[in-house]
Amino acid sequence: WRASYLWLVSSFSELYCWCGCGQSVKNPQNPVKFHPEFVPEIHPFLGFDLCGIESSIQSRWVFTAPIGDLAEVCVRVVAMARLVVVIVAVAMAAWWAVAAVEGLGINWGTQATHPLPPKAVVQLLKDNGIAKVKLFDTDFAAMSALAGSGVEVMVAIPNKDLATMASDYGNAKDWVKKNVKRFDFDGGVTIKYVAVGNEPFLKAYNGSFINITLPALQNVQNALNDAGIGDRIKATVPLNADVYESTVPSAGRFRPEIAGLMTDIVKFLAKNNAPFTVNIYPFLSLYLDEHFPINFAFFDGGSTPVNDGGIMYTNVFDANFDTLVAALKAVGHGDMPIIVGEVGWPTDGDKNARVDLAQRFYAGLLKRLAANVGTPARPNQYIEMYLFGLVDEDMKSVAPGSFERHWGVLRYDGQPKFAMDLAGQGRNTMLVPAKGIEYLPKTWCVINTNAKDVSKLGDNINFACTYADCTPLGFGSSCNGMDTNGNASYAFNAYFQAQSQKEEACNFQGLAVPTETDPTTAQCNFTIQIKSSAAAAAAAPVAAGVVVAALAQLLLLW
C-alpha cells in the first residue's frame, strides 16, 4: 500500500479523471488549466475537501486511496461529480424560476465611501433573481465575485480612457486581454457587452469626446473580433437620450451637430450586430422643466396624451424610446436592437425625488416589461434594460443635481427602500436585502450644545459637507426643515461616518461630540456606516480646501 492521488476536475461541460503515485501527478498528461488570477481555496463540501476557484463551478477534488483501488475510486468519484453537477443545475433552475422580468438587469455603481462587499452584491443579485448587471469599469474584486455566478455582465471603459483606446489599436488589444479575455473561461465571468464610455456626447462635456468615441468603439470591437470573442461579446456606447430630438416621436432625428457621427456609429454597430444603448430618464424630463406634466413621467395615466399622427403616447418613456427608433430608421437601421442602459427614479435630493414616486415609477415600468407591451413603434416585444441603480452612492458628483447620490433601489447598506416586485406582477413585496453586512458601532456625531464659541459653525459645516454627503439637507429633500443645530448635527455625523468613525473626525473645533443616542427623527435618518474592506473615506486635510459657503449659510438660516 502506498499513498496515491486521484485528481478529478469537473465542469458543466466535461469531466476528467487521472491517477498517479506520490509526486507523479505534478505533470499529468491532461493538466487542468486553472486561471492564474484565481487562487484555489479549501471548502468543506459533502464531507470532503473541495479545492477550486472561487466560482466553485469548475472544481478539483483530491483523494488518497490504495493503488489497487484507484480504478474503483475513480468510477465512484466521477459518479459523485456528476451528482454534484445535477445538484448545481437544479439550484440554478430554482434561481431562474424566481427571476425578474425578461431582459431586466441593474447598474452596479461603486462611487461610495463604504461600498458593499462584492460577494455580498453578487449574492444579492442572485437572491432577487436579477440575471444581468452593468458595471462602470472592470474592478477586479467585482469581476472575481461575478465569476461562476451565471449573471450576465456588461463591463465598461470609463470616459477618461477613451483617448487611450482611440489613439492606438494596441491599447485596445491590451485592454481586451486584461479585462475581458482574462475572465472569459468556463466558470469565469459571463461577459456579454463592453460599454465604450458613458454618455460621452452630453452637452455638458462640451465636445470633449466627440472625436475619440467612434475610433475607441472601432478599436475595442476589432480587438474583441481578433481575440475570437467578437461573435458573442459586443462593444456598444451608452448614450444619453439628448443625442436625438423631435417634437413628436415619429419625426425623431439625431442632433444636427452630431448627426454624421451618430450615423457612422450606428453603421458600425450594425456591421458587428451590436445593439444601440441609450439611457432614458423620465425623472430628468420632470426635473429640467417645471412645466412638464408630472403624470406623463409615469405609466398609470392621468396625463393628456401626445397625439403623433393618430398614435397616442401616454408616457414620456415610450415617446422617448420611439423617437430613437425613428432616428435609427432615418439612417437606415430602424430594426437595430436597442438596450436601455439606465432607467430609474431617485429617492432624495429634490422635491420630486421621493420614495413614493420611485415606487410608483418602478411599479408601472415593471408591469409593462412583464407583459412585453413594448412601445407603439415596437409593440408586443420585450425591452432589454438595466435599472439605475442598485444602491445609493455617496461619492457621486452632484453637478447634475443633489439627487445623483440617491438613485439606488436599495440604501447604501443594501436594505430595500420600498416595495418592489421585480417579476412585474404588482405584488407588495420587498427586495431581498444584502446579507452578512456588518455595521460600525452605534455611535453618532452631533453638535456640542455646550460649546461657547459658535462663530465658526458655518466654516465647519462647510468642511463636513465638502467631504461627506449633505444632500438630504437641501430644499425639498428628506432632512430639509431642521433647525441650525439639527443641520449641523447631520453634517457632522455624515462626515464622522464617512471617515469610519475616527475619533478625530468628531471634533470640529470643539463644536461636535460623539453620542450613543440616536439623533434620528421621524423625518430625517442619521445613518451608521457599514464596515467595508474597501472603505474609501475622503481624505480630509486640516483646512477645508474648496468649501460650499452658500450651503452653510443656507443651513444656518433654517
Residues with active-site annotation: 199, 342
Nearest one of 337, 329, 323 to 382, comparing CA atoms: 337
Report phi then psi at 7, rounded to 5.
Answer: -110, 135
55, burial (CB in 10 Å: exposed 0-12, middle 13-18, buried 19+): buried
Q: What is the CA radius of gyration of the chain?
A: 27
The CA distance from 378 to 334, in Å, is 10
Collect all residues with Cβ–Cβ distance below 8 Å to 426 and sequence separation of at least 6: 363, 367
The string of DSSP codes covering 162-231 is HHHHHH-HHHHHHHHHHHTGGG-STTS-EEEEEEESSSTT-GGGTTTTTTTHHHHHHHHHHHHHHTT-TT
Residues near 116 by Cβ (< 8 Å), separated by ≥ 6?
124, 391, 413, 414, 434, 437, 530, 532
Cell of 44: 468543506
Cell numbers describing residue 244: 436625438
CA distance 558 to 552: 10
Task: State the amino acid at position 121 in one-letter form.
Answer: V
d(CA 480, CA 524): 8
For residue 512, the cross-strand partners are: 447
Instruction: Enumerate residues 6+ apart whose C-beta is below 8 A from 341.
Output: 107, 134, 154, 195, 238, 277, 278, 279, 385, 386
- Are the beta carbons of 476 and 350 closer than 8 angstroms? yes
- Whole-number Å distance between alpha carbons of 296 and 286: 9
Q: What is the DSSP secondary structure assignment for residue 306, as one 8-state letter? A: E
Place of cell 484555489: 40
**Whose CA is closest to 467, among 551, 410, 530?**
551
Residue whose C-alpha is closest to residue 314's, from 373, 400, 260: 373
Give the strand pairing for 244-245 and 253-254.
antiparallel
Spatial distance between the Cα atoms of 11 and 195, rounded to a whole number of angstroms: 29
Residues in the chain, overall count = 558
3-state secondary structure of 270: helix
**Hey, is 57 helix, strand or coil?**
coil
DSSP structural state of residue 323: H
How far apart CA 156 and CA 229 sit, in angstroms, is 16
